[in-house]
Amino acid sequence: MERKQGQDRPLVLTGIQPTAGIHLGNYLGAIRSWVALQEDRDCLFFLADMHAITVPMDARSLRDSTLGGVATCIACGIDPDRAAIFVQSQVPGHAELAWILGCHTPMGQLERMTQFKDKSTRPGASLVGAGLLYYPVLMAADILLYDADLVPVGEDQRQHLELTRDLAERFNAAHGPTLAVPDLHISQGCGRVMSLQDPTVKMSKSDGNRLATLFLTDSDDQMRRKLRSAVTDSGQEVLRRGDKPGMTNLLEIFSALACIPVEELEARYAGTSYGVFKNDLADLAIATLAPLREKFFLLRADEGYLLQVLARGREVARRRAAATLARVYERVGFLGPAKSLP
């Protein structure tokens, strides 16, 4: 698709599900990398609250997590004067385009998606709502609604992006060129922060072990305790190695927080011990994350401001979405947006 007039800067779009507790993995793997993108591109960042209800979700905690997510984005450096921050359910175009795309999506393709297969075969899966099957269609709509050029996501979202490209191509083949097909750009770097208690699994907000996950809202003491009790491997050498998954994870976290290559850290800590390294890592984490935590709490307490940021973001998003939807509606033969009576 050709770029439309007036849109000469590449458009970055990405979403994050509002969940209680943003952790170090979300920060290093996603949010922090968005901050640099806003320098020279138009950016749309949204809280995917409609995706969040594909599993049972308590209303009060969803509202709280959504506003908390906005506060986190701003605290971590996303500037609402440069980037549009909005909430998915406040831009109806996401649901509208998802319906149309869904009508162009073979059921079998959705049933074969890894995330659906994983979740629908777990115990208690008879309670899985159809929304979980439809999840990737909604995500495709999120992206295609804005003619996004770049969609920064982690490796775990690759299949969803491939489906998005597929759906855009299928729609274009059926109706003529309408939707921009986004490039696939999977973020590298510190995309995978592992659990502090079991370095073979990803850090997750829902880990049963309280010490496994470093939350951005943790106090200094909690951060220090979690990092000092992080599982390490036998031996004392501070090295990144296949047989040292615990130390490898901690080195990668240090490296990402300090922007220092792992090799340099290995050289710096040669001949010291795990204890020395972990202490320094705790100091670094506190120095880096405590200011974000303080900003977060200030912002979270000011709901009026957060809602104002969202209202501005929503307008930017709606304007862009309306252009795509008008094209799509015309292609499928809908009469177009209803006009109010004179």
**Contact set with ligand TRP (CB under 6 A):** 14-17, 48, 51, 139, 142-143, 151, 153, 157
Minimum CB separation from ligand TRP for residue 168, in Å? 13
Nearer to ligand TRP, 30 or 257 (CB): 30
Strand, coil or helix: 87: strand
Per the residue annotation, which of 205, 244, 278, 339 is the catalytic one?
205
Minimum CB separation from ligand TRP for residue 337, in Å? 24
Q: What is the signed CA dihedral for 222, 223, 227, 230, rounded to 10 degrees?
A: 50
Minimum CB separation from ligand TRP for residue 116, in Å? 12
Minimum CB separation from ligand TRP for residue 272, in Å? 37
Query: Strand locations in the chain, DSSP E?
Result: 11-16, 42-47, 84-87
Nearer to ligand TRP, 201 or 298 (CB): 201
Active-site annotation holds for 202: yes
Nearer to ligand TRP, 142 or 147 (CB): 142
Q: Find residue 43's DSSP bridge partners.
A: 12
Active-site annotation holds for 339: no
Residue at shortest CB range from ligand TRP: 15
Q: What angle do CA 55, 56, 57 make, to 5 degrees?
A: 110
Identify whether the C-beta of residue 149 lies closer than 8 Å to the C-beta of residue 183: yes
Strand, coil or helix: 197: coil
Per the residue annotation, which of 202, 226, 278, 295 is the catalytic one?
202
Render 30-68 in DSSP notation, one character per residue: IIHHHHHHTTTSEEEEEE-HHHHTTS---HHHHHHHHHH
Q: Find residue 215's DSSP bridge partners.
A: 23
Per the residue annotation, which of 4, 119, 244, 339 is the catalytic one?
119
Minimum CB separation from ligand TRP for residue 204, in Å? 12
Active-site annotation holds for 226: no
241-278 exposure pattern, b = at least 16 Cβ within 10 A, e = fewer: eeebbbbbbbbbbbbbbbeeebeebbeebeeeebeebb
Q: Which residues are catalytic?
A: 119, 202, 205
